[in-house]
Amino acid sequence: MYKEALNAVSMHDYARGRDLFTRLLRINAQNADYWLWMSACVETSKERLYCLREAHKLAPNHPAVLRGLRMLGEAPPASTPDFPYEQQIRKWSAPKLQKNLPETGLPGKKLWLRVAAGAGALVIVAALLLVGLLGPENSPLSFLFAPRPTPTLRRVPTLTPQTPSPTAPLSTAPAGQPTPLEALLGATYTPTPLYVNTPHSVSEAYRTGLRAMQRQEWDAARGYFSQVATLEPNALDLPYLSAETYRLSGKLEAAVLEYEKLIAANPEFAPAYLGRARVWLAETPPALDKAARDLQRAAALDPAMFETYLELARLEQLRGDPQASLDWLDTLESYSPANPQAMQLRARAHLALGQAADAVDWARQASQADLTSLPAYLLLGEALLKAGEAEQAISPLETYTLHAAQQPEGWVLLARAYQLSGRQADALAALTRLEAGGSSDFDLLVQRGLLYLELEQPEKAVEDLERARSINKKTFAANIALGRAYLAVERAGNAYQALSEAEAFANSDADQAEVYFWRAQSLDALGEVKVALREWRALLALPQDAVPEKWRAAAEERIAQTITPTPTRPTPTP
């Protein structure tokens, strides 16, 4: 493949060369020559500079790499010239001057010109004499001296030539908008090359279609690909990209039909299986078994297509098997090391395994690897909250909500970080702002209800938590919080009912401890002392690490208050 790539470059077929070197770099990204030749195939100077920098990391003294960096102004001038001095001397040769040739032409022609010029001069002199004798108003040339209206002055727009100054794209934001995250970059990231990227004879229409896909103009992109397909009906990438436009625009049924046509025409074409698997995963609910079969087939056909392993890792997380997800990500590392999406999936897997510290490490690496990825900021904030670092979670969550103001999950997490950091007013403002934007999110209402309980505003807590329970009754969080709120407003019967419903959704000893603790108090409030005593004892029977120390002390105190010593019969005196 390397020889084929070099041959493509020598034939000036840079698109083909770029495609081949991309595949070689997926196999071995530690080869400096691959990066060097890739710099000759890319289209922009930024991409060329990126490739040369990667090559320089691997081979700091490579002469061709250093020469390329010097040409781009990234390296100091060489102490000795890159080419011998003799080859740099330009051999100048002055052009020979032609001798003045004698004038040619007919002498009679010059004579007539002189006569005509003299006649014209006589006419002008005669006209001036006539004007002087008769006056300007009475002469035949009076029209020349007639008064004319004075022109009215008005503003006329003029074009002022300006020299444009180079500016970084997206470096400034419109008024009232946050500064785009791209402005944080010293240089834009090099996009991942398309896995299916074949040179075409109608290259302009093909490239226009790719640009339309980048702008999410799906119908237009599909039209351009159809134009190219009429001239190249056997090209596989064109129907594949058309199928992708259907999938990315949400037309899943049309996408499946296109993928199946591709598979029928070429059963060995791995990207078609990958695309169809992504459709299965996008369905509601996801068709996990179908997706797994297609992804395993794609991996068997083309092991170097790293996107397959990303989707397999996502699939295992949807199945609830985070360890299997990590195994697929280990396989991915051989083909796409330091992949930002893989880092995010690793962080998610460690969160699911309860390994908060590892989740924070991977989430930090993901956000640093791609400063423009909003999900990475959300993930980092969530991981820091799980690790008990509420104050550190505030910064990434503020960044996320600044740029994704309409997404409720960011505001809910930010409010929780504020609340755990002792900034209750900021937490309430965040949740209220989200609801003002038209959101009635379940998590928002539960979080704000708990916040109102902490702020000793139980009536508002009941209002929010009843709304949350109307959205989803089958959750532990809503029922347990509503039971607490009912207790706070002295509605013990409603509290007992909500807490009993919460018990059906308890998933751990800690959840069960919460049910026993609050339900025992509701029973005490209803006067059911004996039943309450049974609840307090059940709380103490749970594992010690599942029950907070304050709750255990309260249970022991309440049991001691309830149980009275059994009176003993007096011993009769003889």
**Considering only CA atoms, which of 543, 542, 503, 541 is closest in space to residue 519?**
503
* Own/partner pairs, 340-344, CB within 8 angstroms, 24+ separation: 340/366, 340/369, 340/370, 340/373, 340/376, 341/310, 342/310, 342/313, 343/369, 344/373, 344/375, 344/376, 344/379
- Do 327 and 301 form a contact (C-beta atoms < 8 A)? no
User: Average pLDDT of the chain?
Assistant: 81
Q: How many CB atoms lie within 10 A of CB 96?
A: 6
**Considering only CA atoms, which of 379, 377, 381 is closest in space to residue 392?**
381
Q: Is the dihedral of CA 11, 232, 247, 182 positive or negative?
A: positive
Euclidean distance between CA atoms 543 and 28, whole angstroms: 52
Euclidean distance between CA atoms 499 and 491, whole angstroms: 12
Residue 6, pLDDT above cutoff 60? yes
CATH 1.25.40.10 fits 2-77, yes or no: yes
Euclidean distance between CA atoms 114 and 183, whole angstroms: 74
Distances, alpha carbon 341 to alpha carbons 7, 286, 344, 366, in Å? 34, 20, 5, 7
Q: What is the pLDDT of residue 340?
A: 94
Euclidean distance between CA atoms 81 and 453, whole angstroms: 76
- Topology of the domain covering 506-563: Methane Monooxygenase Hydroxylase; Chain G, domain 1 (1.20.58)
Where do runs of H (alpha helix) occur along 249-373?
252-265, 270-282, 288-301, 307-318, 322-332, 340-352, 356-369
Q: What is the pLDDT of residue 151?
A: 38
Answer whether 0.85 is exceeded by the pTM. Answer: no
Q: What is the pLDDT of residue 157?
A: 36
Q: How many CB atoms lie within 10 A of CB 311?
A: 21
Residue 310, pLDDT above cutoff 80? yes
Residue 307, pLDDT above cutoff 70? yes
Q: What is the pLDDT of residue 177?
A: 54
Q: What is the pLDDT of residue 171?
A: 40
**Where do the CATH 1.25.40.10 domains begin and end in the chain?**
2-77
**Considering only CA atoms, which of 372, 414, 374, 375 is closest in space to residue 393?**
414
**Where do the CATH 1.20.58 domains begin and end in the chain?**
506-563
* Mutual angle of helices 340-352 and 322-332, in 10-degree steps: 160
Residue 191, pLDDT above cutoff 70? no
Euclidean distance between CA atoms 454 and 428, whole angstroms: 11
Both tokens assigned to 455:
């702020």
Direct distance between the N- and C-terminal alpha carbons of the chain, in angstroms, rounded to an integer: 114
Euclidean distance between CA atoms 344 and 451, whole angstroms: 30
Give 238-257 pLDDT, tens digit per residue: 999 999 999 999 999 999 99
Q: What is the pLDDT of residue 13?
A: 82
Euclidean distance between CA atoms 126 and 134, whole angstroms: 13
Both tokens assigned to 6:
């070099």
Give 128-151 pLDDT, tens digit per residue: 666 565 555 455 544 444 444 433
